[in-house]
Amino acid sequence: MRTSATRNFRRLLSLIRSSTHSNRLQPALQTTVTNILFFESDNSVIVGQTGGSYYDEDDQQCSCSNEPNCTLPSGFFNSLPNSQPGLFSVRDHPIANVTGFLVGCYAIESLFGSTLECFFDSECLQTVLRFFPSTSSLLIHALSIDTQTHFSPQTSIEKLVTELFIEDLSSTISYAAYLARCAPTSCTFTYQRHNNFVYLLTTLLGLYGGLTIALRLFVPALVSWWRMRKLESNEEVNDTERLRKAFRWVRIQLYTMNLFKDASTRSNFFDMMTQLIATRIYFILLCLSVITLVIYGASNIEIKTVIIKSPSLAVHENLYAKYSSTLFCPCSRIAIEHNKFISLSPRFHRVCSSAFIGDDWIKSTQGSFYGGGFTNFQDFRVAAPAFFATLASFCSLSQTIVSDAWQVFNQSILVTSQAVSENELLTRIEAILNQFKVDTVGQSKRALRLIDIHAQSVFSTARTNADLLRNPYITLEPMKYLFNSIPQQLGNCSCALVDNCQNTVGFYNYTSNDTSYSIELNFNVPKFFIGCSIIEGVRQSSLECFFNQTCLDVVQSNLNSEQSINISILENNATRFQPQTIIANIIDALMIEQWRENINYSQYYAYCEPKLCSYTIPLRNNALYVLTTLLALVGGLSAALRFLVPTIVKFIRNRLQQETNRNMIAG
């Protein structure tokens, strides 16, 4: 959360700083340029500009028109440090220094480059307070150095701001509160154990009973049949006769078999018939039951669970191809950070890697411009340096926005309780990435639009949205003049009413003499505009000319710069944007040609790291299982039939016999 908030804040600051410099917004302190007055022979007054240059100890110049972060140490001076307005040098010695404080082109750049060293030093703090008598009644103490802080007194304010002044961000995680909100209604679990003693005992008793019944039924019959075969072995009997005798023997056995013999009823024909009938019914019911059990056992489908331990990626893919509907491979890590298996290497518009946004080209675009003291903002040599510097800022800004957003995205997690297939992972991540792209582009467009709206109302040193003109109708004290801000009129469009006014940019020839001054257009650069703000002019322009060698050659020849460089045109076949595409569309797409994301399924699987895979398959019961189950059931079934069948048959026959006897007596 802290990283996301920090990056979002840093991105917004970067947008503000970039927009401020790109639009050449003028600070009230005139630290970027100084407005100066030119008095003409006709008593008119023209507002001009100068300066905005900072010189270090080696007299190396840093110009605010090219670099927004030009700075010098700040201090207290008795008077203006130099007689030339807009020029600042480290050689100008102050009467008192403020340790760590800097002055520069823009207040935000000066602030970010400064430190709070002075406010940790009592002596330096008292020096500052001495120059502000109104604070004498205030009791202000120097800041104390905390040994626990990770910010030293020499830490830049930029670092403090980008880290939101946070020393430590602590959080409390309450599992009890989570569980209370989750409020599970039930829990289930599985475990493995061996069969207990009671189960084994009942199974053995069942098998014993079944085997006993089977052996009691079949062993005597088999012995009798074997003895009969042995007796017949001495006689010459053909196969047909032997089969007939065997069939007759079976029929006799079935007809005369009595499982319910009772010695006390051996001489009672009625009771013997009852026993024979009960035996036959018993056999019929037992055979039907056995047949039913065999059919059920053989046709019943068992769901078998197969477990594979420590499956490799190849094994998982093979199992998924065969058992996708039932395969379950629980991940060892259910939450996996995106950066573990997703990478992004966006390819930006070719202009962002070309020499057109380099310092050498930007310096060369100024050419050998001479406007006879008149600044023509429609001249390429005036507009181009700010144009390409702004384009460079957009490239850098787009790369920063994408990088920051990607860092936040990387810290997000993918939650998968089990290993998903490659196709499912690709589908899910592509949907997430598409949303990431939409959100990143959308946030950037909204922020840029918001800042651009703000920039429209601030005076620009490039005089793109307004100009300063003396009001001739109001007379003040001598040497005091009233100036009005007059909205720029670009063609027939007023920047006071519309923010997307535009005017063409080209190369102009300037001629002047003692009585006249003239401007003549020499070459108009195609689709190259100035607007109400520098950023708006860049957005409405296109790079059409810089894809065309002929057009670029004309530009180069008109520049006639001492710092001219050899530069190649942009390649049309290396971009998805047509040369005629306005830069606004390219910026709105974050200057990206291709996102080029890569989803590595093998890395995802390695971090998921399932310890086992399980799947279920339907299986019919095998013959051994059916046999053992049948034997286990036959024992109990036989015991029940041996008790019920004779009792019921005897009861029915006795009732029928009694009814018959009553009828005979009555007859």
At 448-481, the pLDDT tens digits run 776 665 555 566 666 665 565 555 555 555 555 5
Question: DSSP state, 352?
Answer: G
| Residue 665: partners with Cβ closer than 8 Å, 6 or more residues away | none
| Residue 640: partners with Cβ closer than 8 Å, 6 or more residues away | none
Query: What pLDDT shows up at residue 427?
Result: 94
Burial string for 591-602 (b: 16+ CB within 10 Å, else e) reads bbbebebebebe
Q: Is residue 93 classed exposed, middle or buried when 0-12, 13-18 and 19+ CB atoms within 10 A define those classes?
A: exposed
Query: What pLDDT shows up at residue 487?
Result: 64
Rounded Cα gap, residues 199 and 211, in angstroms: 18
Question: pLDDT band at 627, cuts 50/70/90?
Answer: confident
Please, what's the largest Cα pairwise distance for the chain? 165
Give backbone dihedrals phi and psi of 74, rounded to 5 degrees, phi first: -100, 155
Over range 591-612, report the average pLDDT: 94
Over range 483-492, report the average pLDDT: 66
482 compared with 7, residue with greater pLDDT: 7
Q: Reduced to 3 states, what is the DSSP secondary structure of residue 398?
A: helix
How far is Cα of residue 168 from the mean position of the Cα atoms in its chain? 26
Question: pLDDT band at 236, cuts 50/70/90?
Answer: low
Query: What pLDDT shows up at residue 202?
Result: 67
Question: DSSP state, 224?
Answer: H
Most confident of 109-123, 185-199, 221-235, 503-517: 109-123
Rounded Cα gap, residues 149 and 169, in angstroms: 13
Q: Reduced to 3 states, what is the DSSP secondary structure of residue 216?
A: helix
Over range 626-639, report the average pLDDT: 74
516-526 residue pLDDT tens? 667 888 999 99
269 compared with 210, residue with greater pLDDT: 269
Question: pLDDT band at 176, cuts 50/70/90?
Answer: very high
Rounded Cα gap, residues 506 and 380, in angstroms: 5
Question: pLDDT band at 88, cuts 50/70/90?
Answer: confident
Query: What pLDDT shows up at residue 506?
Result: 92
Which whole-number Å values give the CA distances from 245 to 229, 249, 257, 314, 336, in the listed order?
Answer: 10, 6, 18, 65, 80
Which whole-number Å values give the CA distances from 99 to 107, 129, 143, 153, 637, in the listed order?
Answer: 17, 14, 14, 11, 103
State yes or no: pLDDT of 221 exceeds 70: no
370 compared with 323, residue with greater pLDDT: 323
Question: pLDDT band at 251, cuts 50/70/90?
Answer: confident
Helices (H) and strands (E) in the chain, counts: 18, 21
Can you spell out the DSSP letters for 37-65? EEE-TTS-EEEEEE--EEE-TT--EEETT
Rounded Cα gap, residues 310 and 612, in angstroms: 5
Rounded Cα gap, residues 279 and 276, in angstroms: 5
Over range 509-514, report the average pLDDT: 74
Q: Reduced to 3 states, what is the DSSP secondary structure of residue 163?
A: coil
Strand bridging mode 483-487 / 466-470: antiparallel
Query: What pLDDT shows up at residue 114?
Result: 92
User: How many residues are there in the chain?
Assistant: 667
Question: For the chain, percent helix, then strand, then coil, each to nearest 5?
Answer: 50, 20, 35
**For the whole model, what pTM was predicted?**
0.70
Which whole-number Å values give the CA distances from 57 to 60, 99, 472, 475, 554, in the listed order?
Answer: 7, 18, 44, 45, 40
Over range 129-135, report the average pLDDT: 79
Rounded Cα gap, residues 306 and 396, in angstroms: 56
How far is Cα of residue 110 from the mean position of the Cα atoms in its chain? 36
350-373 residue pLDDT tens? 999 999 999 889 888 876 555 445
Give long-range contacts, CB 8 A cutoff, 24+ apart: 242-250. 249/224, 249/225
Question: DSSP state, 486?
Answer: E
Query: What pLDDT shows up at residue 364?
Result: 87
Q: Are 448 and 18 in contact (CB under 8 A)?
A: no
Q: Are 106 and 146 in contact (CB under 8 A)?
A: no
How far is Cα of residue 184 from the mean position of the Cα atoms in its chain? 29
Tracing tokens 């959100």 back to the chain, one arrives at 439
Helix (H), strand (E), coil (C) string for 267-282: CCHHHHHHHHHHHHHH
> Containing H/E element for 666?
helix 623-666
Which whole-number Å values give the CA distances from 524 to 238, 517, 529, 555, 607, in the listed order?
Answer: 123, 21, 10, 9, 60
Rounded Cα gap, residues 405 and 177, in angstroms: 31
Q: Are 90 and 56 in contact (CB under 8 A)?
A: yes
Strand bridging mode 96-104 / 71-76: antiparallel
State yes or no: pLDDT of 234 exceeds 60: no
Most confident of 67-81, 474-488, 513-527, 530-544: 530-544
pLDDT, the chain, mean: 80
State yes or no: pLDDT of 335 exceeds 80: yes
Rounded Cα gap, residues 566 and 557, in angstroms: 12
Query: Across 345-480, where does the E strand assignment appear?
Result: 347-348, 413-415, 466-470
384-398 residue pLDDT tens? 888 998 899 889 888
